[in-house]
Structure 1
Amino acid sequence: MGLSSLSIYADFSMNNLTGELPVEIGNLKYLGELHLSGNKLSGKIPSSLGSCTSLEYLYMGDNMFTGPIPSTLSSLRGIKKLNLSHNRLSDQIPDFLEDLNLTSLDLSFNNFRGNLPTRGVFANTSATSVLGNEKLCGGLPEYRLPKCKSTGRSTNGRVRNASIYTVSGILAIAFMLSLLCFLWHRKYRKTVASSSSKDRFLKVSYQDLLKATDGFSSANLIGTGSFGSVFKGVLALDQTTIAVKVLNLDRHGASKSFIKECEALRNIRHRNLVKVLTACSGTDYQGNDFKALVYEFMVNGSLDEWLHPRVGTSAEREVIPRQLGLLQRVNIATDVACALDYLHHQCETPMVHCDLKPSNVLIDGEMTGHVGDFGLVRFMPGATGELISELTSSIGVKGSLGYIAPEYGEGAEVSTHGDVYSYGILMLEMFTGKRPTDDMFRDGLNLHLFAKAAFPERVLQIIDPVLLRESHDEDDGRDIRRTQRSHDRFLKIQECLVSIVEIGLVCSSEVPIGRMSMRDVAAALQAIRKKLTGS
């Protein structure tokens, strides 16, 4: 009996199959379900796969497939579930996927680019995952992708050429105007900052920042860090609200931190990283060296302020209690995981953050999390490197007490595993409400062991009471059906909390090799989010 005679189910998943998928796969014309996930298959997806017209379930995730999704898959009119996640597929997501009768589509963690379709399965955000495709844009607002830039497509070659010439002319004029402006401003400004952004050359001087922050007044002070202070300001030129990190150059290592952060932020861009607008390096009015970084202002402050609000410090905090709901915490945890996955595996020069903690996670007006403060970042020596040995012995590993991986204290080399440990502690803090430096953690007890002792049967006993109150609020006890729905909802929340604590425990494992990768963490949290939202 040959493979072509298979008519129901074929499972080749979780093996070590290598090489390209043979074109003979197209002979499985009567197969209803095919599992190829968890192998090492590479090359392009063969177009002959479109001949398997009886397929309803196709799982090809966790391989190394490259190239675009073949157009012949449009022939799979009966397909219900399609999983192509965790590959290296590229090009645009084809529009024909909108027309298939898909109930589940997973394209996460590939290299797709361009506009995300909005019809068909893409209209159901709980049934579709495109997480981890950094070049995607558009789509429904729930996908939280950046807006697409107009491409002005045309099939007419002459129109394209004319457009190119027009754009080139405009760019040339813009360049000349920019050059003239630069020469004019140079006469009046001795201190000029060069922007780290490729698409916006914001230039500010010490005088600009002094005016924007009202003389770096204490009223505008919004935070202090290892090497300096952060002030809120408003640029006079366009009334942009900014955050200005002024380095304390008297502090040993501050200048090196400034250089490190500039290097790190120069070539990275991700929706879950704090956006740096520019850097300023010069002298103040007393002739002292002055260095500052200018960031996009995050209106909702830091995650630390939300997890541990300072009760009664201001009238605003008393009127509006800063509390995060369960879904908000899951979303922010996912945002941070995506940012770390980008730093570790997807940016041009992989890097280790080395100082992940709640105060370094900032929240914008839409409650999206952004990782900031790259003053302790370590660059990976190569795209596939995991360790940074030469840095450890010369300058030591720094970070924040309670979040530093235990192996660093024993002289281990810097690695992405260290960031994963910090993330695990951050996760446990987010959902228990307890800092790793809490007074209760002494005599060998720490946040990891505290959570581990309660896992899994007594997890609810260690969860932040705010989250438990949220799950009970729906039950008013007046309607049996409503009570039953509330009970079912509570059980679902309990299951999700157990899974969340498990992620925190695995990530903060004592043994580095036993920790999850940030890519797997992001995917797991995405699944938890779908469960919470009822998908």
Structure 2
Amino acid sequence: CLYITFLWKHFCGKQKPEPLIDLGHPRISFKELRIATNGFGKGNLLGVGSVGSVYKGVLANGTLVAVKVLNLQDNSAYNSFIIECQVLSKAIHRNLIRVLTSCSNLDIKALVLEFMCNGNLEKQLHCDSIMCNIGGVCKMNLQTRLQIAIDIARGLAYLHHDCSIQVIHCDLKPSNVLLDYYMTAHVADFGNAQILSENSMHTVSSPKTIQGTLGYIAPEYGVSANVSTKGDVYSYGILLLEILTKKRPTDQMFVEGLSLRMWVSMVFPHRIAEVIDYCITHCNGGATDERWQCLIEMTRV
């Protein structure tokens, strides 16, 4: 994570200081949420996850928000809601999604989050080529991808080392990284997160099975209940390779023992051009010597 930050400073210049963000909105009622989301209408539906749905909404004061409504028929939804509330009430950083308020009663469990107009990294990375270009300029160019990688690394570093509670995300993947108007990345969806005890030394035995996502979850989670910061670092490495290659770790080409990591390793570093996403190497002036060096160093991470 620190090495990615160094790469950004070297290739793309210095960054402005990053102030922490504030919470400060009052609780919201179920009635207000219904009005804000047009009755939780299909036209406002942004997406459906494993434990609930997310709707676009407009509060009475005009604030555009995303409303995450938990599916109370799912036994794990309540626990996910509690964990997410615990994490987001303590973890406040510019590269983490910000919770504005919540609504909790017998009928509904919902989180009101800041709205991210550029959706998630999954959609931006794997979108149709026409939609990914603005005026002939590729939206997901090398500089944007490097900045996104930096943002995610900073968010994770904060969760692991600088937050008042130590948090392991446990489900880092492109769809859980949201992008704002400026394409700044915000790590989101803490429903599977683990909060470590003060004396855990970066590892703790989890009381529940780690849910994770196939392809991104650390292999050791399949045989051990020990949750570690190393698990998030593994997921980050896979995510970084996907950012550079535009290949999901679950792509159908990865069969018979071949994995995304192995595929990249086979050509690193001299034939790295064979696996890097076309948009990086051919759009916006192509890949200069300096950009190639940046790509090699990012892949090395």
Same fold (TM over 0.5): yes
Q: Is the aligned partner of 1:293 residue 2:91?
A: no
Contact kept in structure 2, 1:351 and 1:379, CA below 8 Å: yes
Residues 280 and 256 of structure 1: is their aligned pair in 2 closer, same or farther, counting only changes over 3 Å?
Answer: same
5 Å-filtered alignment, 1:141-156, equals 142-143=15-16, 145-146=18-19
Q: For residue 414 of structure 1, what is the aligned residue in structure 2?
A: 227
Residues 317 and 222 of structure 1: is their aligned pair in 2 closer, same or farther, counting only changes over 3 Å?
Answer: farther
Contact kept in structure 2, 1:354 and 1:418, CA below 8 Å: yes
Counterpart AA for 2:18: L
Partners in 1 of 2:217 and 2:149 — Cα distance? 18
Residues 471 and 311 of structure 1: is their aligned pair in 2 closer, same or farther, counting only changes over 3 Å?
Answer: closer
Contact kept in structure 2, 1:354 and 1:376, CA below 8 Å: yes
Larger radius of gyration: 1
Specify which structure has the bigger relative contact order, considering alpha-carbon pairs within 8 angstroms and separated by 6 or more residues: 2
Residues 379 and 271 of structure 1: is their aligned pair in 2 closer, same or farther, counting only changes over 3 Å?
Answer: same
Counterpart AA for 1:381: S
5 Å-filtered alignment, 1:103-502, equals 142-143=15-16, 145-146=18-19, 199-236=23-60, 238-283=61-106, 289-310=107-128, 323-382=139-198, 385-389=201-205, 391=206, 394-470=207-283, 472-473=285-286, 490-502=288-300
Residues 144 and 358 of structure 1: is their aligned pair in 2 closer, same or farther, counting only changes over 3 Å?
Answer: farther
Partners in 1 of 2:109 and 2:34 — Cα distance? 12
Cα offset, 1:320, TM superposition = 7.5
Residues 346 and 324 of structure 1: is their aligned pair in 2 closer, same or farther, counting only changes over 3 Å?
Answer: same
Partners in 2 of 1:471 and 1:277 — Cα distance? 37
Partners in 2 of 1:294 and 1:369 — Cα distance? 18
**Superposed structure 1 runs of 4+ greater than 6 Å apart:** 125-130, 316-322
Percent identity (aligned): 45
Counterpart AA for 1:240: T
Cα offset, 1:410, TM superposition = 1.6
Q: For residue 163 of structure 1, what is the aligned residue in structure 2?
A: none
The secondary structure found in structure 2 opposite 1:143 is: coil
Superimposed CA distance per residue, residues 124-160 of structure 1 (whole angstroms, 9 cap, x where no aligned partner): x879998xxxxxxxxxxx415339xxxxxxxxxxxxx
Q: Which runs of 5+ in 1 are unaligned?
A: 1-84, 86-107, 109-124, 131-141, 148-196, 284-288, 474-488, 504-535
Partners in 2 of 1:360 and 1:224 — Cα distance? 12
TM-score by length of 2: 0.90
Counterpart AA for 1:433: K
Cα offset, 1:358, TM superposition = 0.5
Cα offset, 1:386, TM superposition = 1.3
Partners in 1 of 2:145 and 2:230 — Cα distance? 23
Residues 499 and 249 of structure 1: is their aligned pair in 2 closer, same or farther, counting only changes over 3 Å?
Answer: same
Partners in 1 of 2:274 and 2:181 — Cα distance? 32
Partners in 2 of 1:318 and 1:498 — Cα distance? 25
Cα offset, 1:210, TM superposition = 0.7
Partners in 1 of 2:250 and 2:81 — Cα distance? 28
Contact kept in structure 1, 2:209 and 2:225, CA below 8 Å: no
Counterpart AA for 1:498: I
RMSD after superposition: 2.6
Partners in 2 of 1:320 and 1:388 — Cα distance? 49
The secondary structure found in structure 2 opposite 1:466 is: helix
The secondary structure found in structure 1 opposite 2:62 is: coil
Counterpart AA for 1:307: L
Residues 455 and 341 of structure 1: is their aligned pair in 2 closer, same or farther, counting only changes over 3 Å?
Answer: same
Cα offset, 1:230, TM superposition = 0.5
Contact kept in structure 1, 2:36 and 2:59, CA below 8 Å: yes
Cα offset, 1:252, TM superposition = 2.5
Contact kept in structure 1, 2:44 and 2:57, CA below 8 Å: yes
TM-score by length of 1: 0.52
Contact kept in structure 1, 2:132 and 2:140, CA below 8 Å: no
Cα offset, 1:440, TM superposition = 0.5
Q: Which runs of 5+ in 2 are unaligned?
A: none
Cα offset, 1:366, TM superposition = 1.2
Cα offset, 1:470, TM superposition = 2.5
